[in-house]
Amino acid sequence: MESDCRIPMACLRPRVLALHALFWGLVSLRVFGAALLSEEKTAVTRTVTMPCWQVEEFVVATDCTICSAFQAKTLPACLQTGYVERINCTKSNKDEYKSCRSAMMEEHLFWKFEGAMLGLTIIFALLVVARQRSLDRQASEKVRRQIESI
pLDDT at 140: 96
| Co-location of 39 and 79 in the same domain | no
Within this chain, do residues 35 and 60 fall inside the same structural domain, yes or no? no
Same domain, 39 and 78: no
Q: How far apart are CA 104 and CA 101, in angstroms?
A: 9
40 lies in the same domain as 59: no
Query: For residues 56 and 81, what is the distance between their CA atoms, to the nearest angstrom?
Result: 23
For 133, the domain range is 102-150
Residues 111 and 91 reside in one and the same domain: no
- The DSSP code for 94 is -
Low-confidence ranges of the chain (pLDDT < 70): 1-14, 16-17, 20, 34-48
**Residue 57 pLDDT:** 85
Residue 139 vs residues 61, 136, 142, 145, 148: alpha-carbon distances, Å: 70, 5, 5, 10, 14
- Do 22 and 61 lie in one domain? The reply is no
CATH, residue 78: 3.30.720.220
Are 106 and 134 in the same domain? yes
